[in-house]
Amino acid sequence: MSTPTFFLEDAFNRPMQSDPVLKPTTLTGQMEQVDVVWTSEDGKLVYGLWECEPGTFTANRDGYHETATIVAGRATITAEDGTVIEAVPGTMLSTPEGWKATWVCHERIRKVFNLIYI
């Protein structure tokens, strides 16, 4: 067995390293933080943590696929096709390139994410 290139010992309690910034797709003015933990040499794979304040924003997976697991908080996600997801800690999401949705974060939310750029 090989040694992992990186690991997150505690994704729930780890302090975010980035400064909060205005979420570009916010509809209500909330701030977000993104900590990239690892990027592949070719830049096509990105792993990290994301945290966002309560509020509403749109999401569009343009040019990449994402797999994420919610580790804290709660949100209602309504996809463009009408699918509604109640995201809570432990919820795993797989959103393909081209996926669009509106997120309503009911409380501060945190996820671990994996991006695959195409």
- At residue 5, the pLDDT reads 66
Query: Distance (Å, rounded) from C-alpha 105 to C-alpha 102?
Result: 10
Phi-psi region of 104 (alpha: psi -120 to 50; beta: other; left: phi over 0): beta
The stretch 104-109 carries a mean pLDDT of 98
Per-residue pLDDT, averaged over 63-80, amounts to 98
Residue listed under structure tokens 């081209």: 98
Confidence category of residue 9, pLDDT binned at 50, 70, 90: confident
For 21-117, which CATH superfamily applies? Jelly Rolls (2.60.120.10)
pLDDT exceeds cutoff 70 at 2: no
Say whether pLDDT at 36 is over 70: yes
Q: Mean pLDDT over all residues of the chain?
A: 95
Cα distance between residue 58 and residue 101, in whole Å: 6
Domain residue ranges in the chain = 21-117
